[in-house]
Structure formats: C-alpha cells, structure tokens
Chains A and B, each alone.
Chain A
Amino acid sequence: MDLMLSDTQEMIRDGARRLLADTLDPDMVREVEASADGVNAEIWAQMAELGWTALALPEDIGGGGAGLVDLCLLGEELGRAAASTPLVATAGFAAAFLQAVEPTALTRSMLSTLATSDAVITPALADAAGRDERSAPASVLTETDAGATISGAKAMVPCASVAQVLLVSLRASDGEAAVVAVDRDAAGVRWARHGATGGDPLFHVEFDNVSVPAGGVLARGRAAQQAIDAGLDAAAVLATAEAVGCCEGMIRLGSEYASNRQQFGRVIGSYQAVAHRLADMRINTDACRLLVAETAWLLDQGRDATLEVAGTKVFANEVMVDMVHAAHTVHGAIGYTTEYDLQLYTRRARAFCLSHGDTDAQTERAAVALGL
C-alpha cells in the first residue's frame, strides 16, 4: 500500500500543469467553448506530440506503457485548467475499447494511430431516441452480399467534428449488438453541435445509409457489450479525474475570494459558515481523487472493477452536486456572472454528474456488483 505519487508521476502532473498554465487562460477557454469544434486543438496536438495522450498505451505500439492511473493525473490537470480535449473520448473510451475487442488489422492500425498521432477516435453510443450510452441501440447495421451499411441517429457524441473515426453501437439484423468503426468523413454522416450546459463539444450525428468498410464490424453480441463496458469504465474514471480538477478550480477560486472579500469589516473566509463549506469541498475532492486513483489502479491491474468504477461515480455525482452550490454560495452574486471564472468549473462539474453513467445507472451497476 502506498498512496504517494512516484517521481515520474509527479513529473507528469507538474509538466501538464506548467504546459496548461503557459498555454491556456480563462479567456481562451471561453473562446474555445464558443467555437464550432469546442476543442482546444492546439493543446491536444501538443499533448500528442509529447506522448501524453498515448501515455497508457503499450510501448510496443509506440505508447507510453504507463496506465490509467497516470492518465488520470493528466485528466485532473485538464480539469483544473477547464481545458476541452478529446482525452476522455479517445485516450479513455477508444483506447480501452480497441484493446478489449478481438484484435484485427483495423483495430491494430487504429491503436497505432492513437499511439503516434493526435487523431481523434470517439464513441457514438447513445441513440438519439435512447436514454444513454448503455441503452440498447435502435440505430441499425444492415449486412447484405453487397456490403454493410448503417443508419440511425446518435446523440451527445463527443468531439465528432474533429474526429477521424466514430465507434458506433448498433443493432444488427439478428437483433444482437454490434460496434462498427466508421470514417467520420464517409458519405451520409452529418453532425451538428448540441448546446450543452457544461460547454462540452457534444454532437448530434446522423448516419444515412453509410457504407461500412470491410472489417469495420469490430465486435458483436456479448463481446461488443463487454468492450463497450471496458471503454465506458475507463472513460468514466478519466472523466472523474477531470471533474476532480474542476473541483480544485472551484476550491482555488473560492479560497482566493473568501480570503479577500470583506463584509462587516471582516474577511468572509474568517466566518466559519464560509470556511467550513470550503473545508468540506477540500474533504470531498480529496476523497474523489483517492477513489479515482484506486479504481484506475485496479483497472490497470486487469481486475474486475465494476463495483469500484460505479461506486466512485455515484460518490462523485453526489458530492459534486453539493460542491457546485457550495462554491456559488461562497462567491455570492459575482460567481453567477459569466465574466467571473467560477461558472467555467461549476457548469462542467454539474454536466459531469449526468455523463458517463448518471447516479441511477451507476447505482444499479454497483448494487449488482455488491451482490444485492
């Protein structure tokens, strides 16, 4: 048992913090959020150049040979900076999914692309008509002698406008689930950005009789479901790490504000009603960070960590909803304005609680894993 970061892990964390401090300020966060793609493309390219986006991929394909634990350190720093990147979709979901399916020439090539470039591969799972990523898809895969095509509509696809490949979950003609890799530029793929409270780059993507290249069906049936679960679990843990970074942003802003703002002749941070809210934010953020680290470690060890992934998400959802409002309460009216930075963090944190498995969905998974 050792909960201290190694020297290498501290270097990853400090390096990421320096890079983000040097290259990203809150005004840029606002610009990116308002842009068509909604992604910090330059930072993502720089991170890929430095090998950070491939940190958890195996060394023999050009990755960093580290694990999700290390990737989560990076994620937390992105959250602290309120950066918007495809890290969760690509280094989280796609990397874990592609390593979980039966390897083919195509999956090997996609993994190698992820390890050596800033290419974005992103999941398209939740049907426009469904509830979330784990709901059975209504979009269909049609296979004939002439080839396979897909049709349907997906909601809340991350980073679709900058993606090269979409990993689309579908219902095959036999009724079984299937996951297909589709070029985002293929004929019949159309996308439009959702407005979303967290400012995340989420897209509505339509597939109109889109041709699937040979070998494009990556997994079917139970194997498809298991690979999706592997991808979603890695994404959920990594997204929680980013949300922990958002909480750190709220704590930083709240502590600064409470240390300077005076009312009734005193700095408001000297009132326990204010100070104790911030102390609770510290406590729950630390708890989330440790749960993320342990869960990531278990996944890195190849253990079944359904209980830990789902339980961590349930806990994070619960405490982060409280933290968002605690942070706003500490700041008073100024925190509600868009010119102040607090909302960059609180909108993201609240949206996080609804993403990657909401409380009901993850509670049910954890309950089953707990033997209930």
Chain B
Amino acid sequence: MEFEFPAEAEQFRAELRAFMDAELPEWWKGLFHDDDRIYPFTREFCMKLAERDWLTMSWPVEHGGVDADVWRQMVVREEMWAAGEPRGPQYMSLNYIGPMLMDFGTADQQERFLKPMAGGEVMWCQGFSEPEAGSDLAALSTKATDADGCFLVNGQKIWTSYATAADWCLLLCRTDPGERKHQGLSMLLVDMNTPGITVRPIDSMGGPKEFNEVFFDDVEVPYDCLVGPRGDGWRVAISTLAHERVGAALHARVKVLLDALIEYATTTKDENGQPLALRPSVRSGLVRLQARYRAARLLCYRIVSAMAAGVANDVDPAVSKVFSSELNILIGNIGLDIVGARGQLTTGDGLAPLDGLMNDHWVHSIPQPIAMGTNEIQRNIIAQRGLGLPR
C-alpha cells in the first residue's frame, strides 16, 4: 500500500494549477451557472488543454492520448472538479463516451469521432433518461425504426445536460422488439443539427440551463451511426455507465469547500468577539467533514487502484458514489449552518458569506444522489452484488 501520489503526478498538479490560475477568468464560477459565456469558454479551454496533451491523457496513443498513468489522470479529474469543471460538457466524452467508442466503435467511427474529441473541439450530450425511464432505464420507449437507408428516430429524452450546446448526442433507443425490456435496444450517435430535433431547457433550482428535454420527431440517423451490435445497446450502455461512475472525483469539490469553511470559521467573529471556530458545533462539524473527505477520496482511489491492478468490480464504484454524493449534501448543510442566516443570500449579494458559495453548493448538491444512477440503485447493487442478497 502507498498513500501518496507519485512525485511526478504532484509536479503535474502544480503545473496544471498554474495553468488554470492563468486561464480561468474572473467571472468563472462553475459549469452549472447561468451565463452565456460558459460553453464557448469551455470549448476554448479544452482546445488549450489538448494543445498541451492534457485533455485525453489517459487515452491510448493511437486515439490521440498519451497513455498516461492513472494517477496523473486522477489529478486532472480532481483539479477540474475542484474548479467547477471548466472542461464543460467534454468531461463526458473524455471519461466515458470516448472509451465506449474504443470498446464498441468500428474503425471508421473511431477515426471520425475520437479525433475531434481529443482535439477538444466537440461537445456531446447523453440521451438516456426518459420521462418514464429514470432508474428503470431499460423501460425507455424512444424508437429508431428502419426507413429509407437510415434509422428514423421518434421519442423524447429528459434531464439531458448540455443539450443546448451539444454537437452530438449519445442516444440509447429501441430499434427492435425484444422478449425482455433489456433486449432490442441500440446505441446511436446523433448529430444534434439534424432536422426534427427540438431542445427545450427545463428551468431548475440550479438555473435555467442545467437540464433539458430533447424531442425527436422523424429524425434521420444514418446506419453507420449505430455503435455496437444492433439490439445489444444495453450492454453498451452498462459499460458506458461503469466508465461514468469511475470518472467522478466528487470529493475534490468538498476539499475546496472545506478549506473555505475553515478559513471562514477561523477569521469570522461572533457577536462576543469570539471566532466561530471556537464553537463546539463548528469544531465538530468541520472535523466530521474532514474525516469524511479523506474517506471519500480513498474510496475513489480504491476504484482506480483496482482498475490499475486489473481487478475492478461493480461494487466499489457504487460504494464510492453513495458516500461522495452524500458527503456533498452534508457539507452543503453543515456549511450553511456555519455561515448562518446570511447563508441563504445568493451569489453576487454583497452580504452573502463566501459570496454565496455554500448556498450555491447546497443547490447543486441536491441532484448528486440522483444523478449517475440514484443512490437507491447503487445500494441495490451493493446489497445484491456485494453482499449476495436476493433481488
């Protein structure tokens, strides 16, 4: 066992931080904010990362990567998530849509789609969830039928992040009837500029741009945009979701918030002139968060260690996802209690403690136990595959 990053990975972290300090503009608050400058900025930012070979580091050389050490890749994930994910939507293509294409795509598809991803030029969105297919994803009903030399897609997706900006969509839909609902699904790559696609933003607690509905009305998709075997889309989707959960460094944002709270508590005095840090509840809250931050980080590193050793399993990512997402909820709530009444004031209000950081985090933490497979589904995975409990 070894509980330190390799020296060269830490050296790289320092370089990456210096780069981000220089590149992140004053107005940047994170990906999930309501600001029209965000998506164009993230595209430029990714292209600059690509120029330095820092965008697709973990990818194999043949697909435009540098076959980087897994811990170097973890440094990227941590630093990006800590800074509010300035790669924008592209973390998805880098972490799991690209690797999915490497696993299941044809040589032509890899040539056509991986290069632009590695260059940082293209944004993808993920069309999986539907109004009637959330946790029960395989119940989805968006259909791709055979038309004149292509698929014709009809249906509706929902909770599609980044759909207003995306160039392409990874679409899971039903191409064939199956005896069971997991059969007859297929994975398609859909150009978002194809006629018949309508994107409707869903105003949410996190702002008007975090989620969308996407409607498909007789959308023509060429046959060469089918990834993996027709009717075997469920297997492709499961593999994609496994990559997705491994990629998350949800603990990295917790460290930023914890440092901010420690600074706030030690420098802010109460009405008696005593630093907040002397209150037993504040001390207890921060100590609990610090230990949980360590645990979340180690649970994430355990997945990467197991992958590097070739002994990855389904249960560890589920454990990590539940723990980290719930820690994000906890730090939002403990953080709001520490900053007190003015914690409800929003970013930009001069009286908002930490410029509304805790309130902003609290709002954006709400979806974390829901996104990427709800924590109830993760607990089912842990109980059934980890503990052998019956379904």
Contact = CB atoms under 8 A, between A and B. Distances in A.
Given A255-B389, A283-B382, A372-B266, 7 more contacts: A2-B1, A4-B1, A259-B388, A276-B380, A279-B322, A287-B299, A364-B283
A3 B298 CA distance: 8
Tell which of B71, B298, B322, B391 has the most Cβ of chain A within 10 Å.
B298
B379 A276 contact: yes
Top 6 A-B pairs, shortest CB-CB distance: A311-B291, A275-B383, A269-B389, A290-B298, A287-B295, A367-B283
For the side of the interface on B, what is the size category? 35 or more
B319 A282 contact: yes
A311 B383 CA distance: 28
Interface string B284-315: 10111011101110110110111011010001
A1 B389 contact: no
Contacts of A286: 299, 302, 319
A331 B4 CA distance: 41
A291 B380 CA distance: 24
A129 interface: no
B277 interface: yes
A9 B1 contact: yes
Given A287-B299, A370-B262, A372-B283, A276 B383 contact: yes
Tell which of B5, B74, B284 has the most Cβ of chain A within 10 Å.
B284
B2 interface: yes
Tell which of A280, A282, A372 has the most Cβ of chain B within 10 Å.
A372
Which secondary structure characterizes the binding site on chain A?
helix
A367 B287 contact: yes
A69 B1 CA distance: 8
Contacts of B302: 3, 286, 290
Interface in A1-41: 1-6, 9
B291 A291 contact: yes
A251 B387 contact: yes
A278 B292 CA distance: 19
A267 interface: yes
B386 interface: yes
Contacts of B319: 282-283, 286
A272 B294 contact: no
Given A4-B306, A255-B387, A287-B299, A279 B291 contact: no
Contact of A1 (B3, B376, B387, B391): B3
A282 B323 CA distance: 11
A318 B327 CA distance: 14
Interface stretch (A118-126, A135-143, A145-153, A293-301): A293-301
B292 A315 contact: yes
Contacts, number: 151
Contacts of B277: 367, 372
Contacts of A298: 3
Contacts of B309: 4
Tell which of A278, A286, A308 has the most Cβ of chain B within 10 Å.
A286
Nearest to B387: A255
Which secondary structure characterizes the binding site on chain B?
helix
Interface in B341-388: 376, 378-380, 382-384, 386-388
A302 interface: no
A270 interface: yes
B265 interface: yes
Given A276-B376, A282-B387, A315-B295, A293 B1 contact: yes
25 contacts: A1-B5, A3-B302, A4-B306, A6-B1, A255-B388, A267-B390, A276-B380, A279-B386, A282-B386, A282-B387, A283-B319, A283-B323, A283-B382, A290-B295, A290-B299, A291-B295, A293-B298, A297-B1, A314-B287, A314-B288, A315-B288, A366-B291, A370-B287, A372-B262, A372-B286
Contacts of B71: 1
Given A4-B305, A4-B306, A255-B387, A272 B286 contact: no
A371 B262 contact: yes
A321 to B, nearest CB: 13
Nearest to A258: B389
B95 to A, nearest CB: 19
A366 B386 contact: no
Given A4-B306, A290-B298, A269 B383 contact: yes
Contacts of B290: 307, 311, 366, 370
A312 interface: yes
B6 interface: yes
Contacts of B382: 279, 282-283
A117 interface: no
A298 B294 CA distance: 13
A168 B30 CA distance: 56
B282 interface: yes
B291 A275 contact: no
Interface in A355-372: 363-364, 366-367, 370-372
Interface in B253-297: 262, 265-266, 277-278, 282-284, 286-288, 290-292, 294-296
A294 B3 contact: yes
B301 A1 contact: yes
Interface in A151-170: none
Tell which of B265, B282, B379 has the most Cβ of chain A within 10 Å.
B379
Contacts of A367: 277, 283-284, 286-287
Contacts of B294: 291, 294, 308, 311-312
Contact of A371 (B266, B284, B322, B378): B266
Contact of B390 (A69, A269, A366): A269
Contacts of B301: 1, 3
Contacts of B287: 310-311, 314, 363, 366-367, 370
A280 B291 contact: no
